[in-house]
């Protein structure tokens, strides 16, 4: 697990941080000045340290430039340009750069927030930052839970940044830095920028994509490297490119389930055979889930409810057991090249906005929202208009589980009095508007780049790989690939209702046809279907829900309904809510007693 922590702003904070360092049994590399310090460790020897005059820089991860060149260049540029110097960095990293004498400087994450970095103000001031929030608690920062964060977790199944589960602690979003120049301020040093003029020749863009795919995999294909392989478009692309750039049979790792509708090993085998992979497979069992739940809950700094963390963990563990030290993941392709069904769905709803406003409000809506809409044959049209009227990006959440059930039927009255039920929409709107994009598609991609990727998928994969003891890299999120995807015209990424049209068409001679046409599935976990058929899993869930009931957060009536009727009637749908609640209670039991 990559670790970095430090303090800028005064001798007292520096002394306290050094005290933590002296208590650790882990070997850290250290930069220290009179009013600041930063320390880092990594099991993969990927720490760069440089001092240029009075400016020091420390980078952890995989910046593009190797040796000490990235850190040296950053220290030199920061003394001239301030935080604008961070824009010269490429690759995956977290780090800090500061003046050794004054302690003024900043901590930062890369352009996709490959690793989380948290920051806060300690009781005596200054900027404290760390990849682990427990560092702050050991220095006197409160463990007080933010009620709003709990609500956001139940809504999103993760806690989206920049807020965290704890009062007073924030996380850095992609391309951001926490600056200390006498006071703490979050700033942006990089922004995802789209080109939407419609220009672009398919043949030229195809060749550029193929070259970038090969280059981005080559950047991270050194050493004992393998690849996740689900049999989907992205993992198959990464697997094929890994074999091409290495000149060897790629090592791949795939997960299956003995449950109809969840097992994708057949597609993985199709891709593996196509690229001559040396495949490793494992079938996750209910016993595995029982064993993994407490481990996973402990691994995350804050509640995390994406159940595909389980297969991700077992895939990574299998890779570690076979000697692989880095896994290549296909995350990012859907969010860069429009691979999620909601993009096409929202495009259909968006067409309603082209109907003249007078006609919509003066004729269509009064008719359909009135008795006419209740007549046979008009129900679907009424439903379409009802959803199309909801502004973006709130419209994307019409099927949200908490929203469909109703917050009042899920959560206690006392808890609801402490939170703003509109806050999730504020989070979505901030991400939706956070680029220069004007097209509906690119605004949705911007939102998913920040929330779906940074707060969910990368947290899932990164934490589970660290738990298993392997490093992870994301070739499809290479800086040049992200910039390229932003130049591909929206009409090529989503052509009509054809998802990922450009990407799939460009790779039609590279990927197996079965992969290009398969239905998107992902690393779904058959938790709901297994819940009532496995006694050990049922017992763990029952105990967790019973303990959660005592916290008076979730209504006891809902817990009873989930246990007695809802999950048995709709195991996949309501099983998701049970998983989210179980992981919340498991997180409480693991972290609030420490």
Residues 24-74 have pLDDT tens digits of 878 888 999 999 999 998 665 689 999 999 999 999 999 988 778 999 999
Q: Using alpha carbons only, what angle is made at residue 526 by residues 522 and 531, rounded to the nearest 5 degrees? A: 160
- Residue 280 bridge partners (DSSP): 253
The pLDDT value recorded for residue 574 is 86
Coil/strand/helix, residue 216: helix
The pLDDT value recorded for residue 593 is 59
The pLDDT value recorded for residue 523 is 57
Distance of CA 196 to CAs 175, 182, 336, 440, 445, Å? 22, 40, 14, 11, 13
Domain boundaries, the chain: 3-188, 202-338+444-517, 341-438, 527-591
The CATH number given to 3-188 is: 3.60.20.10
The pLDDT value recorded for residue 43 is 60
Multiple choice CATH, 202-338+444-517, 1.10.10.10, 2.60.40.1150, 3.40.50.280, 3.40.50.620: 3.40.50.620
The pLDDT value recorded for residue 164 is 97
DSSP code of residue 562: I
The pLDDT value recorded for residue 49 is 93
Contact 251, 243 (CB under 8 A): no
CA–CA separation, 475 vs 228, rounded Å?
12
DSSP code of residue 498: B
531-541 pLDDT, tens digit per residue, is 888 899 999 99
211-249 pLDDT, tens digit per residue, is 999 999 999 998 899 999 998 999 999 999 999 999 999
Query: Nearest CA to 48 among 24, 25, 74?
Result: 74
CA–CA separation, 194 vs 197, rounded Å?
9
The greatest distance separating any two alpha carbons of the chain, rounded to the nearest whole angstrom, comes to 78
* Predicted model pTM: 0.94
Chain-centre distance for alpha carbon 462: 9
Query: Nearest CA to 119 among 177, 61, 59?
Result: 177
The pLDDT value recorded for residue 567 is 79
Q: For a pLDDT cut of 90, what percent of the chain falls above it?
A: 75
Q: How confident is the model at residue 594 (pLDDT cuts 50, 70, 90)?
A: very low
Please return the burial class of 39, using the count of CB atoms within 10 Å of its CB with bins 0-12, 13-18 and 19+.
buried
The pLDDT value recorded for residue 290 is 96
CB atoms within 10 A of CB 166: 21
Q: How do strand 118-122 and strand 170-171 relate by DSSP bridges? A: antiparallel
Q: Using alpha carbons only, what angle is made at residue 418 by residues 417 and 419, rounded to the nearest 5 degrees? A: 100
CA–CA separation, 590 vs 348, rounded Å?
44
DSSP code of residue 329: -
The pLDDT value recorded for residue 124 is 87
Please return the burial class of 197, using the count of CB atoms within 10 Å of its CB with bins 0-12, 13-18 and 19+.
exposed
331-379 pLDDT, tens digit per residue, is 999 999 999 999 999 999 999 888 888 888 888 878 888 877 787 878 8
Q: What mean pLDDT, rounded, does the chain reach? A: 92
Q: Using alpha carbons only, what angle is made at residue 468 by residues 465 and 473, rounded to the nearest 5 degrees? A: 25
Contact 46, 33 (CB under 8 A): no
DSSP of 201-214, one letter per residue?
A: -HHHHHHHHHHHHH
Long-range pairs for 492-499: beta carbons < 8 A, 24 or more residues apart: 492/200, 492/202, 492/205, 493/337, 493/338, 493/441, 494/338, 494/343, 494/344, 494/347, 494/441, 497/344, 497/347, 497/348, 498/344, 499/338, 499/339, 499/340, 499/341, 499/343, 499/344
425-440 pLDDT, tens digit per residue, is 999 999 999 989 999 9
161-192 pLDDT, tens digit per residue, is 999 999 999 999 999 999 999 999 999 999 99
449-503 pLDDT, tens digit per residue, is 999 999 999 999 999 999 999 999 999 999 999 999 999 999 999 999 999 999 9
200-220 pLDDT, tens digit per residue, is 899 999 999 999 999 999 999
Q: How many CA atoms lie within 13 A of 497 on its CB side?
A: 10
Contact 49, 57 (CB under 8 A): yes
Contact 228, 328 (CB under 8 A): yes
544-559 pLDDT, tens digit per residue, is 999 999 999 999 999 9
Encoded tokens for 348? 């259909």
Summarize the confidence of residues 271-290 as an average pLDDT: 95
The pLDDT value recorded for residue 521 is 57
Contact 562, 577 (CB under 8 A): yes
């Amino acid at each position: 697990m990559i670790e970095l922590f430090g303090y800028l702003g005064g001798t007292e904070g520096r002394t306290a941080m050094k005290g933590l360092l002296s208590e650790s049994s882990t070997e850290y590399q250290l930069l220290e000045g009179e009013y600041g310090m930063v320390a880092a460790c990594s099991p993969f020897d990927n720490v760069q340290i440089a001092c240029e005059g009075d400016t020091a820089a420390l980078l952890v991860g995989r910046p593009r430039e190797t040796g000490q060149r990235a850190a040296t260049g950053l220290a030199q540029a920061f003394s001239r340009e301030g935080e604008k110097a961070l824009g010269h960095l490429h690759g995956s990293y977290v780090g800090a750069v500061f003046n050794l004498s004054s302690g003024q400087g900043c901590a930062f994450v890369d352009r996709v927030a490959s690793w989380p970095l948290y920051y806060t103000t300690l009781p005596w001031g200054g900027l404290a930052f760390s990849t682990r929030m427990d560092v702050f608690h050991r220095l006197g920062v409160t463990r007080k839970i933010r009620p709003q964060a709990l609500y956001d977790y139940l809504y999103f199944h993760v806690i989206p940044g920049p807020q965290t589960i704890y009062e007073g602690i924030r996380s850095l979003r992609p391309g951001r830095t926490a600056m200390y120049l006498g006071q703490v301020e979050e700033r942006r040093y990089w922004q995802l920028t789209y080109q939407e003029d419609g220009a672009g020749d398919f043949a030229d863009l195809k060749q550029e994509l193929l070259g970038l795919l090969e280059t981005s995999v080559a950047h991270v294909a050194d050493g004992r490297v393998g690849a996740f392989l689900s049999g989907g478009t992205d993992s198959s692309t990464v697997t094929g490119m890994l074999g091409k750039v290495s000149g060897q049979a790629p090592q791949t790792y795939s997960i299956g389930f003995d449950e109809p509708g969840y097992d994708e090993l057949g597609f993985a085998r199709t891709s593996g055979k196509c690229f001559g992979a040396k495949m490793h497979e494992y079938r996750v069992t209910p016993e595995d889930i029982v064993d993994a739940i407490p481990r996973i809950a402990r691994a995350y700094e804050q509640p995390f409810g994406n159940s595909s963390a389980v297969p991700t963990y077992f895939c990574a563990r299998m890779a570690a057991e076979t000697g692989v030290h880095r896994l290549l993941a296909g995350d990012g392709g859907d969010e860069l090249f429009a691979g999620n069904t909601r993009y096409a769905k929202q495009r259909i709803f968006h067409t309603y906005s082209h109907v003249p406003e007078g006609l919509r409000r003066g004729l269509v809506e009064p008719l359909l929202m009135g008795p006419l809409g209740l007549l046979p044959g008009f129900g679907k049209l009424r439903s379409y208009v009802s959803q199309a009227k909801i502004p973006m990006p709130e419209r994307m959440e019409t099927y949200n589980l908490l929203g469909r059930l109703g917050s009042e039927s899920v959560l206690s009255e006392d808890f609801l009095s402490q939170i703003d039920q509109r806050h999730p929409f504020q989070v979505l709107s901030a991400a939706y508007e956070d680029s220069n994009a004007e097209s509906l598609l690119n605004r949705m991609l911007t939102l998913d780049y920040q929330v779906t990727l940074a707060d969910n998928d990368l947290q899932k994969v990164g934490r589970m790989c660290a738990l298993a003891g392997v490093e992870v890299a994301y070739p499809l999120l290479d800086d040049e690939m992200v910039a390229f995807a932003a130049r591909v015209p929206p009409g090529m990424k989503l052509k009509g209702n054809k998802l990922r049209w450009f990407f799939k068409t460009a790779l039609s001679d590279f990927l197996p046809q079965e992969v290009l046409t398969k239905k998107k599935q992902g690393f779904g976990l058959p938790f709901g279907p297994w819940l009532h058929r496995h006694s050990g899993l049922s017992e763990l869930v029952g105990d967790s829900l019973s303990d959660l009931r005592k916290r008076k957060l979730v209504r006891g009536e809902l817990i009873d309904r989930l246990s007695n009727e809802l999950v048995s009637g709709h195991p996949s749908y309501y099983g998701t809510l049970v998983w989210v609640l179980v992981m919340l209670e498991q997180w409480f039991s693991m972290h609030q007693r420490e």
